[in-house]
Structure 1
């Protein structure tokens, strides 16, 4: 039986508040990013989770595990301060989101290149046809 662990981290990323949903199933982690806009209240976050959590678009999975929760709140606070000071919040989920952004950027680059080449080929065919029409006798 597989266990699913989920975590939501809400943080401020200039100029909006962002939520990162992390989901771990059998050692594979997936992440989804949601922009809240203004600072959400606890009730708004809870309502969002209840209404929209099942419709989130998760990015491609990445190998990794969510960190274990420690019981001591002072230790958790120190670990959180250490993580945010060094790498930012949710590094593996941020890596998953960055990987998805990079993939979409490469796909967009390829499609625009193909579109540009097709347009050049169309213009070249038009020019050559026009040139042949001019030299055609009556």
Structure 2
């Protein structure tokens, strides 16, 4: 049986509200950043997750420690929620995962740009060769 945990944190990152969707399972820890415009209501966050579930791009999976499933008392759960609300919104692990995702996107864009540049240079070279041949045909 595969156990997984997910959590969404909504916080204000000037000038937008941002949702940080974290999920961890046996495969690893993944993070996705969702940008909202104005401050979203609870039902708007939920609707956005349901509507755009397939388009979410998660970071590459980082190895995650195995989560223990155990029942906690209601008071302990309330204290934990209060501690999370008062602390900083984004954890270090989430920041590392987002950084890794940005770096991979940057590498992909560079590769695509490099390939487009080579294709354009090849096209220009062929065009120059054709022009040379055209000049020598009449003589």
1: CA distance, partners of 2:107 / 2:131: 36
Provide the residue aligned with 1:15 in structure 2.
15
**TM-score, normalization: structure 1?**
0.76
8 Å contact kept, 1:29–1:66: no
Provide the residue aligned with 2:124 in structure 1.
123
1: CA distance, partners of 2:116 / 2:20: 34
Assess, with a 3 A threshold, how the Cα gap between structure 1 residues 112 and 62 changes in structure 2: closer, same or farther: same
Q: Residue 36 of structure 2 aligns to a residue in which SS? A: strand
1: CA distance, partners of 2:60 / 2:24: 12
Q: Does 1:32 align with 2:32?
A: yes
Q: Deviations over 1:33-61 (max 9, x none)?
A: 11121111234334444x34743432321
Provide the residue aligned with 1:95 in structure 2.
96
Assess, with a 3 A threshold, how the Cα gap between structure 1 residues 53 and 112 changes in structure 2: closer, same or farther: closer
1: CA distance, partners of 2:104 / 2:62: 14
**TM-score, normalization: structure 2?**
0.75
Q: Residue 113 of structure 1 aligns to a residue in which SS? A: helix
Q: Deviations over 1:97-124 (max 9, x none)?
A: 2212211111111111111111112111
**Structure 1: unaligned runs, 5 residues or longer:** none
**Structure 2: unaligned runs, 5 residues or longer:** none
Equivalenced residues, count: 132
Q: Deviations over 1:51-86 (max 9, x none)?
A: 3474343232111249999927289638953xx3xx
**Structure 1: which 4+ aligned runs deviate by more than 4 Å?**
65-70
1: CA distance, partners of 2:12 / 2:137: 68
Provide the residue aligned with 1:3 in structure 2.
3
Provide the residue aligned with 2:134 in structure 1.
133
